Amino acid sequence: MTKTIEDLEILKIASEIGDSIWSIVAMWKPFDQDTIGKQLTRAADSIGANLAEAYGRYHFGEKLKHIYYSRGSLFETKFWINRAKARNLLEHETADQITEKLVSLAQRINGFAKFLKQQRVQNSGVKEEPAPYKVSSVTDIELEQDVYSDNDIAFLAKLTNNH
């Protein structure tokens, strides 16, 4: 069983992708770093950051939300990889290798989300005995006072006769 965040395989893979992208972007010209490079690096690092934040959340809904943010960052990273490839900032082979890793990571993220949803269902059972429920017939109910006064009944009768 996982004991620390550093033990999460999915986070290790996300960190490796982020670090490899950082190393590549660090070699680019300043204009390329400032435009595509910063966006690409932030998106790649955001994959792991959101997985880490999901790990630290208590409620299933919060965990899932951050896992979905992570998946969104993954697709943003893929977008920027394609832009870098189209603008000849990345060799096609390097871009394709990173994309393959991203696809594999996306599958793991989807699996992680599915696992959490299953855990949510398994842990959502009611843990206390239900209160006794008794249905009474109208004759069992004693009215201490009339529900409607004579004036109320006359008013209601007047309304129904007008329609």
pLDDT digits (tens, 9 = 90+) for 36-65: 999 999 999 999 999 999 888 888 888 899
Number of domains present in the structure of the chain: 1
Please, what is the average pLDDT of the chain?
84
- pLDDT tens digits, 61-82: 888 999 999 999 999 999 999 9
Domain ranges, residue 86: 5-122
pLDDT at 94: 96
Least confident range from 11-20, 74-83, 125-134, 138-147: namely: 138-147
Does residue 44 form part of some domain?
Answer: yes
Residue 28 CA to residue 31 CA, distance in Å, equals 8
pLDDT at 146: 58
Nearest alpha carbon to residue 66 among 47, 87, 42, 94: 47
Does residue 132 form part of some domain?
Answer: no
pLDDT at 109: 92
pLDDT at 116 over 70: yes
Does residue 18 form part of some domain?
Answer: yes
Does residue 40 form part of some domain?
Answer: yes
Question: Which pTM was predicted?
Answer: 0.70
Does residue 150 form part of some domain?
Answer: no
Give percent of the chain with pLDDT exceeding 90. 55
Does residue 57 form part of some domain?
Answer: yes
Question: What's the rounded mean pLDDT across residues 137-148?
Answer: 54
Does residue 163 form part of some domain?
Answer: no
Q: What is the CATH number of the domain that holds 18?
A: 1.20.1440.60
Least confident range from 14-28, 91-105, 107-121: namely: 107-121
Does residue 149 form part of some domain?
Answer: no
